[in-house]
């Protein structure tokens, strides 16, 4: 499930070439603060995937909700 969630989120990523130096910028809409920059598309994607994983683990550790991706809701419900 977690791998499917990551893949689904990464499929939503948007990339653009920065005009000042030609580097690539990537972000995932709906995942506030998840963005990366790289010299190549592959480098940008790898960095974005790392940032996404860290962002998810941080939100889980703080008991915050996560966006639903492709029908997958990875939010861990609190137990009594």
CA-nearest of 2, 26, 22 to 13 is 26
The answer as to whether 75 is a domain residue is no
Q: What is the CATH classification number for the domain harbouring 51?
A: 3.30.160.250
What is the pLDDT, as a whole number, of residue 1? 81
The answer as to whether 7 is a domain residue is yes
Model-wide pTM > 0.95:
no
The answer as to whether 9 is a domain residue is yes
The answer as to whether 72 is a domain residue is no
The answer as to whether 51 is a domain residue is yes
Total count of domains within the chain: 1
Is 37 within 8 Å of 23 (Cβ atoms)?
yes
The stretch 65-77 carries a mean pLDDT of 85
Confidence of residue 75 (pLDDT cuts 50, 70, 90): confident
The answer as to whether 6 is a domain residue is yes
The stretch 37-64 carries a mean pLDDT of 95
What is the pLDDT, as a whole number, of residue 80? 60
The answer as to whether 80 is a domain residue is no
CA 23 to chain centre: 19
The stretch 55-76 carries a mean pLDDT of 88
The answer as to whether 70 is a domain residue is no
């Amino acid at each position: 499930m977690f791998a499917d969630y990551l893949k689904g989120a990464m499929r939503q990523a948007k990339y653009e070439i920065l005009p000042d130096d030609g580097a690539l910028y990537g972000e995932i809409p709906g995942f506030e603060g998840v963005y990366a920059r790289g010299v190549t598309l592959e480098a940008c994607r790898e960095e974005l995937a790392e940032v996404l994983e860290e962002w998810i683990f941080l939100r889980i550790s703080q008991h915050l909700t996560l966006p639903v991706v492709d029908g997958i809701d990875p939010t861990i419900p609190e137990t009594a």
